[in-house]
Amino acid sequence: MPFLYFLLFILSSILQAEDLSSLLKNYKTDSDLSKFTKHDSAGIVEVYTRQDLEKMQVHNLQDILQTIPGIHLLRATNNLTLLAPSSTSKMPLTYTRLYINDHEMSSSSFGSALLIWGNMPVEYIDHIEVYKATSSLEFGNENAAFIIRLYTKNAKRDSGSKVRLMADNKGSYDTNFYTASEIDNDISYFAYANVADTKRKKYYNIYNGQRYTYDSDTNNYNLYGSLEYKKSHLEVGANQKEDNDFLGRGIHRTPDGGELDAYHYYIHFTQEFENELKLQLSYDRLSYTRNYEDPNGIHIANAPLINSYTLRFNDDIFNICVEKHLDYKHNKVMLGAFYKYKEFAAKGDFHDTTYSYAHKNNFSNGLNLYSIYGEDDYDISNTLRVLASLKGDFFRYNKDIKTQNEFVARAGIIKKLEDLQLKAFYTRGYVPLGFYQIYNPENLPYRANPQIDTPKTDIYTLSMKYKKQNYETSFEVAQMETSNNLVYDYTTTNGWKNVSQTARQTLYQLNYTYFFNLQNKLLINLTYGENNTDIKQSSPFGCLIRSYNAYKKFDFYNEFNYKNGYSYSSYSVDASLDWTAAVKYHHTKDLSFGLRGENILDQGYEQVYSGVSQKFPVRDQKVWLNMEYLF
């Protein structure tokens, strides 16, 4: 098997020689929609085009999150997807926003629904954009410093039907089907369905002579549909997730069952008018039920040791957004406003094996969020642009929680000097609170935290890009300072609390891209992260090398992801090298077969967890088989 992987790598290095200048002269990117959706002024951006996704043979969002420079893909003790900037610990969910087209996958309870959509399928996605060190003002929704935007396929480009089947060496399967059609020039539809059963390597823990299993298998069910009529666009989407609990949360890490059962569905309507006015209406429903079982005890707040712990969160979100774009000779103005109502309900059920201790509690609340924002993009000359934006968010809770008025301000400059482009931005913002932070689920009974405040952020970004005909290189620096930061303290009544110390995170990123021709390119990213403490909570240095290649009927992809080792507290993590490779054979224009190997060397990034002596890889060593048929 290692020889097969090595052979794939050798084959991908054999490129068909073609005249570079003639290819670049005829380089048409009509199939690349990312050039129409990318916001160059929104922060440090990583773009995954349609060609990239197809060569990579990605099957879910985690395959993309794995390759974001300066960001570590993690899995929580309860098997959920988390992200961590270089050298720092995991980002709170409220730092991150996930969009499918213009719809934010939001959650009243957690701020972001990434915990449900983190391993969503991407077969129906056309391209992906990731924005680091940004604000969400450009996208007209709640504030965030890290934004993932996914843009779906549509009937105008994907008329017809497609089946994609995948299976791996551990017994996983992933099935995808979509169909799309233009009924006439004014009406089109797109419909997609996915079922995935992902098997992962099992690990074991011995306690008091008894063996306990660490199981992290996952089942996913996903639906998406869109209907377009002239300038009206209706979208519906749903994702159901069933997870095993991995390590659980028992004091000895001895889980005996337990699972996550969650779903999220939404409907989103967009109406565009002739005068550059856009109206959006949406509704979300999210349900999240988490159960932990541990015969050797789970510690919750001031309760005695319990053996069963169940939490249920239910969210309802209504949103209306209006945006207006004004184009003048030298500047472009965007004005917008939205109203969002976020309803939250939670229930807890705690008991021991004999029910000698049993407790139930519940709570609910609602948030009325009013927002108004504007941005001016002014061209001083053909080579100099300045941007300024301002946003006001006004939080009005139904009960218990004080009124909050928050503001986001951003200013930037973009200068072009022939082949060199310089960009500098400053953003003053804040981190929104999720209800799970306001109502600590470990309080018995639930009650609002009267002391908690929103953390404030100052984000500075600087980038320099030098671009020639067949290559480009760039250097980017981003620094985020967070004051009034939130930390979780198990010893306090309210759990989450603000601290006076300012947290500072800095990312340095050096990028190089070489375009051999239309089908072949090489990308190299070097990243280094640091914080204002001497503590490294994740790998600070990374080197990511990716090659996208094609030769006759074959597509090739190689990815080398190196992260250096680090020590944290009493734990030590070794350096890692995750090699992923993929090859696809196009038997006909409608039928193709593929092979993708992940963590081929079995030396991928590992995590350490409190209370567990062994380390666990974030990604398993796997081989996926892939078949795609268009009709």
pLDDT tens for 463-495 read: 999 999 999 999 999 999 999 988 877 666 667
Q: Is the pLDDT of residue 292 over 60?
A: yes
Predicted local confidence at residue 361, as pLDDT = 83
**Residue 175 counted as domain residue:** yes
The pLDDT value given to residue 24: 39
What CA dihedral angle connects 117, 119, 125 and 128, to 10 degrees?
90
Average pLDDT over residues 446-458: 82
Whether 217 is in a domain gets the answer: yes
Does the structure show a pLDDT above 80 at 158?
yes
pLDDT of residue 149 exceeding 60: yes
Q: Which pLDDT does position 32 carry in this prediction?
A: 63
* 3-state secondary structure at position 227: strand
Question: 71 is in which domain, residue-wise?
Answer: 36-630
Confidence class for position 443, pLDDT limits 50, 70, 90: low
pLDDT score for 359: 85
pLDDT (tens digit per residue) in 501-551: 899 999 999 999 999 999 999 999 999 999 998 788 899 999 999 999 999
**Residue 312 within a domain:** yes
Residue 390's SS3 state is: strand
β-pairing verdict for 96-100 and 146-152: parallel
- The answer as to whether 515 is a domain residue is yes
Which range is least confidently modeled, 307-311, 354-358, 544-548?
354-358
Tell me the average pLDDT of the chain.
90
Q: Is 611 left (phi over 0), alpha (psi -120 to 50) or beta?
A: left
- Our count of domains for the chain comes to 1
| Residue 19 scores a pLDDT above 60 | no
The answer, yes or no, to whether residue 418 has pLDDT greater than 70, is yes
Query: For 35-40, what is the mean pLDDT?
Result: 64
The partner residues of 119 in beta bridges, in order of sequence, read none
**Quick one: tokens of 272?**
């565009």
* 371 closest CA partner among 104, 40, 43, 100: 104
pLDDT at 451: 75
Residue 457 is assigned to a structural domain of this protein: yes
> What 8-state DSSP symbol labels residue 27?
-
236-290 residue pLDDT tens:
999 999 999 999 989 999 999 899 999 999 999 999 998 999 999 999 999 999 9
Confidence label for 141 from pLDDT (cuts 50, 70 and 90)? confident
Identify the DSSP state of 314.
E
Q: How far is CA 96 from the centre of its chain?
A: 7
Q: How far is CA 130 from CA 42, 123, 302, 441, in A?
A: 10, 18, 41, 31
Tell me if 554 is assigned to some domain.
Answer: yes
Query: Of 114-123, 432-441, 450-459, which has the strongest mean pLDDT?
Result: 114-123
Tokens of 40: 């160059």
pLDDT score, position 28: 41
CB 85 within 8 A of CB 73: no
CATH number at residue 492: 2.40.170.20
pLDDT for 30 beyond 50? no
Is 3 a domain residue?
no
Q: What's the pLDDT tens digit per position in 167-217? A: 999 999 999 999 999 998 899 999 999 999 999 999 999 999 999 999 999
Please state, in angstroms and rounded to a whole number, the distance separating the CA atoms of residues 133 and 31.
28
Q: What is the mean pLDDT of residues 134-138?
A: 71
pLDDT of residue 34: 62
pLDDT digits (tens, 9 = 90+) for 73-104: 999 999 989 999 999 888 888 889 999 999 99
The overall pTM is greater than 0.95: no
Question: In this structure, is residue 22 part of a structural domain?
Answer: no
Beta bridge partners of 511: 474, 525
Q: Are 123 and 629 in contact (CB under 8 A)?
A: no
Residue 625: pLDDT band (50, 70, 90) is very high
pLDDT of residue 23: 39
Amino acid at 41: S
Distances (CA, A) of 522 to 6, 180, 348, 546, 595: 18, 33, 51, 6, 20
Cβ atoms 121, 238 nearer than 8 A: no
